[in-house]
């Protein structure tokens, strides 16, 4: 799908702009979107390398299952704790500088993971890596808040998270091949270089507002500003007002449930396939990728369907809510079924359907942060992602204990229960209600 065909856009004369009033709008916002998609892809490439490398790392260092769980969790705890500071960086200093900085930081510690020599050094390195990646999604969300039209947000967030899942899906296959030929350290070094190259392109191309970008013509600028206004690129965040809103905490609790579930597929699932299903490294890499590929389709379908409902007059409240609830219910039904089936192919198919349902919700969830966050979308998404990644951190740490004591099926039953809870929570979320606006904050 090309950038020009990805998003429908109105073409209308723009008055008051000499020589531009009959011009078609440029599509710089689409280029910004695709560059952001690449950022999401890179975050997950760097994040899931260690999941595929885990059997090799365990073999070299003789780490126990519980030790690997804490290595996974070191990243997640840092990622959760620094979400709000990361979102604040994007809102305070602008996405251009903030996102460039955090990508350079986490790419450095991606490479440094290859130099670790013990469980302690690996935990410290993964913690510092997580500190950098913590800013990625909140700042990237903020980077789109001044560019994407309201009817494009579900698709845009679905597309960016599809990029993330695509990174998570293709990485196990490539990492497995690289490990077989070069050892487990090589993928960390290679992927770090990819992140540094992206940071250079981002800083050179992106601008915090359409008015700052030379490639945006008057027609596209008028279309964007007509829909979004001309709010400041950087604004003081009204934390007291935002944190007093119950809807923010409902959204965050829902995302806690989501992130716990998806993190199992990003950290423990390859290990599950290796230990419980008995697959070798090559087959494990392939089968670990398939549910995440289904997730890519779910990301795209969820965002696209939600935006379609908005365009057809369903309203933000029902357009976001209906898609998310269907997704969570699907995942809740399919998770235990997938874990209980003995037939390998049937089990993987059920896991694919489960992750597809789970990922139907994610573009919608992040679109809600834009809907209700507006100028403060970076900070709103940071709060949501903080609780989400506390869930992911808990998943990484406690799953080792659950599996050791009770086996893998109870671990997947936990996911089913959390998906059911998330569906109930989303029934209380109203995407049409803005938490705060810059004008209200200034007036106050």
Q: What is the 3-state secondary structure (H, E, C) of 409-420?
A: HHHHHHHHHHHH
**Alpha-carbon dihedral of residues 411, 416, 421, 426, nearest 10 degrees?**
120
**What is the pLDDT averaged over residues 337-347?**
89
Whether the predicted pLDDT of 395 surpasses 50: yes
- For the chain, give the longest Cα–Cα distance: 72
**What is the pLDDT averaged over residues 71-76?**
83
| pLDDT confidence tier of residue 228, bands split at 50, 70 and 90 | low
pLDDT, position 441: 47
| pLDDT confidence tier of residue 426, bands split at 50, 70 and 90 | very high
pLDDT, position 137: 80
What superfamily would CATH give domain 26-224+247-443? MFS general substrate transporter like domains (1.20.1250.20)
Tokens 């609830």 sit at which residue?
Answer: 325
| Domain regions of the chain by residue span | 26-224+247-443
**Over the stretch 120-132, which tens digit does the pLDDT of each residue have?**
899 999 999 998 8
pLDDT, position 252: 94
Whether the predicted pLDDT of 416 surpasses 80: yes
**Rounded distance, CA 296 to CA 363, Å?**
11
Among 247, 250, 254, which residue's Cα sits nearest to residue 325?
254
Lowest-pLDDT range, 55-64, 169-178, 244-253, 389-398?
A: 169-178
Whether the predicted pLDDT of 284 surpasses 80: no
- DSSP 8-class letter at 322: H
More confidently predicted of 245 and 442: 245
Tokens, residue 233: 């690129």
More confidently predicted of 291 and 44: 291
pLDDT, position 443: 44
Lowest-pLDDT range, 83-92, 416-425, 432-441?
A: 432-441
**Over the stretch 146-179, which tens digit does the pLDDT of each residue have?**
777 777 777 787 788 778 778 877 787 788 888 8
pLDDT, position 2: 38
pLDDT, position 437: 57
**What is the pLDDT averaged over residues 253-274?**
88
Predicted structure pTM score: 0.70
Tokens, residue 305: 């369907």
**Rounded distance, CA 224 to CA 179, Å?**
46
Cα angle, residue 239 at apex, residues 235 and 245 outer, rounded to 5°: 120
| pLDDT confidence tier of residue 235, bands split at 50, 70 and 90 | low
pLDDT, position 333: 95
pLDDT, position 198: 94
């Amino acid at each position: 799908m090309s950038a020009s065909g990805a998003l429908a856009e109105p073409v209308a004369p723009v008055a008051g702009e000499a020589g531009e009033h009959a011009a078609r709008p440029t599509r710089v916002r689409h280029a910004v979107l695709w560059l952001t998609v690449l950022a999401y892809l890179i975050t997950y490439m760097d994040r899931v390398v260690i999941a595929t490398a885990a059997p090799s790392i365990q073999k070299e260092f003789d780490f126990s299952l519980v030790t690997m769980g804490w290595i996974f969790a070191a990243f997640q705890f840092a990622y959760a704790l620094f979400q709000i500071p990361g979102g604040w960086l994007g809102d305070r200093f602008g996405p251009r500088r903030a996102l460039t900085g955090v990508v350079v930081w986490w790419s450095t510690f991606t490479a440094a993971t290859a130099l670790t020599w013990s469980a302690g050094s690996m935990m410290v390195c993964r913690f510092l890596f997580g500190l950098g990646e913590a800013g990625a999604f909140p700042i990237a969300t903020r980077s789109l808040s001044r560019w994407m039209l309201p009817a494009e947000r579900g698709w845009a967030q679905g597309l960016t998270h599809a990029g993330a899942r695509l990174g998570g899906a293709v990485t196990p296959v490539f990492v497995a091949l690289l490990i077989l030929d070069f050892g487990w350290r090589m993928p960390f070094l290679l992927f770090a270089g990819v992140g540094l190259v992206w940071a250079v392109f981002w800083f050179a191309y992106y601008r915090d507002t359409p008015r700052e970008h030379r490639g945006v013509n008057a027609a596209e600028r008028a279309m964007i500003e007509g829909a979004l206004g001309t709010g400041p690129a950087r604004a003081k965040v009204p934390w007291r007002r935002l944190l007093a809103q119950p809807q923010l905490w409902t959204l965050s609790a829902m995302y806690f449930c989501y992130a716990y579930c998806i993190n199992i597929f990003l950290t423990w699932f390859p290990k599950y396939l290796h230990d419980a299903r008995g697959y070798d490294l090559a087959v494990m890499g392939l089968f670990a990728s398939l549910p995440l590929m289904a997730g890519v389709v779910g990301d795209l379908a969820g965002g696209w369907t939600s935006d379609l409902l908005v365009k057809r007059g369903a309203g933000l409240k029902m357009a976001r809510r209906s898609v998310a609830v269907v997704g969570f219910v699907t995942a809740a039904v399919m998770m235990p079924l997938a874990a209980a089936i003995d037939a390998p192919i049937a089990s993987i198919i059920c896991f694919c359907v489960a992750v597809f349902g789970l990922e139907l919700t994610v573009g919608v969830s992040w679109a809600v942060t834009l809907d209700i966050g507006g100028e403060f979308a970076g900070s709103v998404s940071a709060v949501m992602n903080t609780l989400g990644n506390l869930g992911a951190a808990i998943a990484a740490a406690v799953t080792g204990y659950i599996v050791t004591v009770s086996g893998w099926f109870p671990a997947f039953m936990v996911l089913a229960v959390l998906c059911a809870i998330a569906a109930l929570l989303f029934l209380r979320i109203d995407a049409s209600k803005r938490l705060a606006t810059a004008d209200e904050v200034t007036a106050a």
